[in-house]
Amino acid sequence: MIYDLIIVGMGPVGATAANLAGLWGLNALALDKAEGIYENPRAMGLDHEVMRAFDNIGLAERIASHVMPYRASHYVSGGARLIKRIDAAKPPYLLGWSPNYVFSQPPVERALRERINEFQSVRVQLGCEVLDIEQKGPLSQVHVRNRDGHEALYSSHYVLACDGGTSPIRMRLQLPMDDLAFDEPWLVVDVTLKEGAGADLPQTNVQYCEVERPCTFVVGPGRHRRWEFMINPGESPSDIANPESIRTLISRWLPPDAYDIWRASSYRFHALILQQWRHEQTFFLGDAAHMTPPFLAQGMCQGIRDAMNLIWKLALVRRGLAQPSLLDSYQNERAPHVRCTTEVAKTFGQTICERDAQRAAERDERLVEQLQARPDGTMTRQSLIPGLTSGFIDTSAGAGELFPQPLVRNHGGETDLLDRFTGQSLRLVLSDKIADPGLAPLLQRLCAHLPLHVIQLVEMQPSAQAVAEQYQEQGDVLGAWMRERDCQVVLVRPDHYVYGTAQDGEQALALVQRLLAALAT
């Protein structure tokens, strides 16, 4: 059998890629060296883009008990002085989901794997080590050794390397990474509060920007709490990670009998970006392609965006609906986005990790001035995440931005988020001011070979007899977005980034023609 793609690595990024492959009907093989998920928490933050992706693959309700909205982050210096505050944007939510969440990784990862089993086109093989990948003409041959020592060769049109920060595939190819000059040792400790404990803990997340030992406190779902401590010079990572040292560190907040230690691991927080995200027919995703300091809770989010960006493009190419050159846009789009987001996370880390007393005092004064300059003193996390600036996008207003997800009502009276009616597809959205009854069928005929929904927004009850799918927006999330960009038409990619916009029917036809030409180039 020749697979459309082989996914190496079944962490959250690889498992998401496998689910998306199933959603698009790709014939995929997913491999992982481990035979089960890692039962300790690692990533703890995800955002509305990731929740939207999880909902697209049918997981939002399954994982609801393991996630909760991310609380505000307070940055405090010595003496508990508030110097910075970051919060999520307030409702109505642009993407239909709370902007940021904390989550418990093991059950979420388990749900991702269980969902893969429901796709007939995706096969999972665990306990398999990838020994080598060799290019044979247009195909990749993946050399695998299973848990019994048996070796096999699998052929695939594409390979996705989702095999983590120490990626054996990347290491064998000796692909260089850009170092953004951040390398700091930290201890991460996850605890489970005992029943009734923790009432006096902070009710929000706190970054303790103290020169003696910078540290972080995060409120997790349920009784899960996390502390991160910077490792001081002269301290051994192994010594500081022992239970006695951990209890001494946490004694500032809790007595030893108030919690159980779930996990303690020392890390070096890096800022690294792969220079070459593709080698022949192998693409790199997640930590195999980039490593982001955790101070913006974007590490896993970056990898999920990689999968969202790439899978639909592979699907269109494999179906013959786009030229292979479309795949060149993967690095062109993702690398600048990752670099910008990583630089922001790095800046936050440098703010927190300042150990020089004089520079820390100057930092405090500068941040307090910025805090007081904002109307409510708060910065929103969403304002720090960029859109797309290049790649497979048009030059019209709004191109490269995330498409808002409104709550809508369909012709049957059902009310839900728009994605749940359209799925992951290209979407051409016409405002209620586009009155030409012949436009929607003309656009549908032009794009009949593409996975595309023509959506007509209407003011009154949608009609079941309409040529286009009619929806009535509940609220004004999308309507306001379109007015701000002075557009009446939005063409949206399957990963929910805007391809381009138009102001009338004639411009809409031209926009669609540009999309078709770009896919054929």
Indicate which CATH number applies to the domain containing 317.
3.50.50.60
**What is the percent of the chain where pLDDT is above 70?**
100
Instruction: Please check whether residues 460 and 437 belong to one and the same domain.
Output: yes
CB 218 within 8 A of CB 226: yes
Residue 466 has pLDDT above 90, yes or no: no
SS in 3 state form for 169-235? HHHHHCCCEEEEEEEEEEEEEEEEECCCCCCCCCCCEEEECCCCCCEEEEECCCCEEEEEEECCCCC
Residue 393 belongs to a domain: no
CB 468 within 8 A of CB 444: yes
> Which pLDDT band, with edges at 50, 70 and 90, does 79 fall under?
confident
How far apart are the C-alpha atoms of 177 and 332, rounded to whole Å? 16
Predicted pLDDT of residue 119:
97
What is the residue whose two structure tokens read 């779930």? Answer: 262
Instruction: Please check whether residues 297 and 411 belong to one and the same domain.
Output: no
> What is the pTM (predicted TM-score) of this model?
0.96
Residue 376 has pLDDT above 90, yes or no: no
Token pair belonging to 483: 């007015």
How far apart are the C-alpha atoms of 452 and 430, rounded to whole Å? 13
Of 286, 320, 335, the one marking the end of a domain is: 335
pLDDT (tens digit, 9 = 90+) per residue, 392-423? 999 999 999 999 999 999 999 999 999 999 99
pLDDT (tens digit, 9 = 90+) per residue, 16-44? 999 999 999 999 999 999 999 999 889 99
Our count of domains for the chain comes to: 3
Predicted pLDDT of residue 146:
92
How far apart are the C-alpha atoms of 496 and 470, rounded to whole Å? 19
Residue 379 has pLDDT above 80, yes or no: no
Residue 143 belongs to a domain: yes
Of 246, 270, 294, the one marking the end of a domain is: 270
Residues 6+ apart with CB under 8 A from 388: 333, 337, 399, 400, 401, 497
Instruction: Please check whether residues 425 and 498 belong to one and the same domain.
Output: yes
Paired strand residues for 3: 156
Domain that holds residue 477: 407-520
How far apart are the C-alpha atoms of 297 and 52, rounded to whole Å? 17
> Which pLDDT band, with edges at 50, 70 and 90, does 374 fall under?
confident
- The enclosing domain of 229 has a CATH number of 3.30.9.10
Type of residue numbered 45: G
Predicted pLDDT of residue 269:
87
Looking at every residue in the chain, the average pLDDT score rounds to: 95
Instruction: Please check whether residues 152 and 263 belong to one and the same domain.
Output: no
Burial class of residue 1 in the structure, from the number of CB atoms within 10 Å of its CB (0-12 exposed, 13-18 middle, 19+ buried):
exposed
Predicted pLDDT of residue 356:
94
Q: 410 by DSSP, 3-state: which?
A: coil
Instruction: Please check whether residues 512 and 469 belong to one and the same domain.
Output: yes
